[in-house]
Amino acid sequence: MAATQARFGQIKTFIFDVDGVLTDGSVTLLASGERFRTVFIRDTYAIEQAIKAGFRVGIVSSANADGIRSWLAAMNVKDVFMGGPSDQKINAFLGYVARDGLNESEILYMGDDMPDYPILSRTAILSTCPADAVDEIQAVCQYISSKVGGRGAVRDVIEQVMKAQGKWGI
CA distance 110 to 162: 16
**Residue 74: which residues within 8 A CB-CB, separation 6 or more?**
none
Tell me how far apart the 2 most distant CA atoms of the chain are, in Å. Answer: 49
112 marked as binding residue? yes
Burial class (CB in 10 A: 0-12, 13-18, 19+), 29: exposed
66 marked as binding residue? no
Burial class (CB in 10 A: 0-12, 13-18, 19+), 2: exposed
132 marked as binding residue? no
Residue positions forming the annotated binding site for substrate: 19
Residue positions forming the annotated binding site for Mg(2+): 17, 112
Residue positions forming the annotated binding site: 17, 19, 112
